Amino acid sequence: MSKIFPKSANALPLQIIIFLGILGGVAAAGITYYATPAYLRVGYQPVQPVPFDHSLHAGQLGMDCRYCHTSVEKSGTSSVPAAQTCMNCHSLIKTTSPLLEVVRQSYTTGEPVPWVKIHQTPDYVYFNHSVHVNRGVSCVECHGKVNEMTVVSHDQPHSMSWCLDCHRNPAERLRDPKDVYNLDSQTLAAQGKLADAQKFVHDWKVKPPQSCSGCHR
């Protein structure tokens, strides 16, 4: 047979393998870094129709989260408040501010304020707030320091693996139930009271579901 390939072609298979390996590695790394919720979601900070400032209301003024997000203790959703809740104060305070025009319109006409949804889970995931906040998981664990946010941004990835990190080891992320709405408080573990946290998990029978039925219905 005549020689089709030059001798240097002998190195080709190895080169191809190495190239594919590097390509695969780069692709995997790229996807892992850029195409996972940790990158895609964290930092999402859309413009809201009303420039509501949590750092002012929840931070400076010290309003409890539950004043507006009323159903968080009872139901699966922590509801965004109706315009009526805003008007509780703003019918007396800043009554003519142009920033609140949308809220006033909503209150009078009933048309909802089109808040942009930041934290979204897919339709096949059923997350329930009430069972978390009533059992020692603070708002800040998942939503970050909302009381310091001027505009709310997505603080944590909210990927399934991130949820499971806590579900597999709840003791590290729990705090005293009375501290749940105090976003400046610390988890029991951070205060060095991990043993207390573990006792809490034992006494309260905290057994976060780890099988699919916990969230997928």
Please state the closest distance from residue 125 (CB atom) to another protein, in A.
8
Please state the closest distance from residue 210 (CB atom) to another protein, in A.
8
Please state the closest distance from residue 37 (CB atom) to another protein, in A.
11
User: Would you state the structure tokens that stand for residue 178, as one six-digit string?
Assistant: 């009375």
Q: Which is nearer to another protein, 15 or 105 (CB)?
A: 105
Please state the closest distance from residue 8 (CB atom) to another protein, in A.
40
* Residue numbers at the binding site for another protein (CB under 8 A): 39-40, 42-47, 49-51, 70-71, 73-77, 79-85, 98-99, 101-102, 105-117, 120, 122-124, 126, 128, 130-131, 134-135, 177, 203-205, 207, 209-214, 216-217
| Measured CA distances, 192 to 10, 77, 140, 171, 197 (Å) | 61, 32, 18, 12, 10
Q: Which is nearer to another protein, 21 or 209 (CB)?
A: 209
CA distance 27 to 217: 33
User: Buried b vs exposed e over 167-180: b needs ≥16 C-beta within 10 Å?
Assistant: beebbebbbbeebb
Q: Which of 211, 215, 197, 214 is nearest to 136 (CA)?
A: 197
Q: Which is nearer to another protein, 12 or 40 (CB)?
A: 40
Q: Which is nearer to another protein, 32 or 84 (CB)?
A: 84
Hunting for tokens 């009872």 — which residue is that? 74
Residue spans of alpha helices (H) in 35-82:
37-40, 54, 65-68
Q: Which is nearer to another protein, 2 or 211 (CB)?
A: 211
Q: Nearest-5° angle of CA 166, CA 170, CA 176?
A: 125
Q: Which is nearer to another protein, 21 or 46 (CB)?
A: 46
Please state the closest distance from residue 168 (CB atom) to another protein, in A.
13
Q: What is the DSSP letter of 57?
A: I
Please state the closest distance from residue 50 (CB atom) to another protein, in A.
8
Hunting for tokens 């979601």 — which residue is that? 41
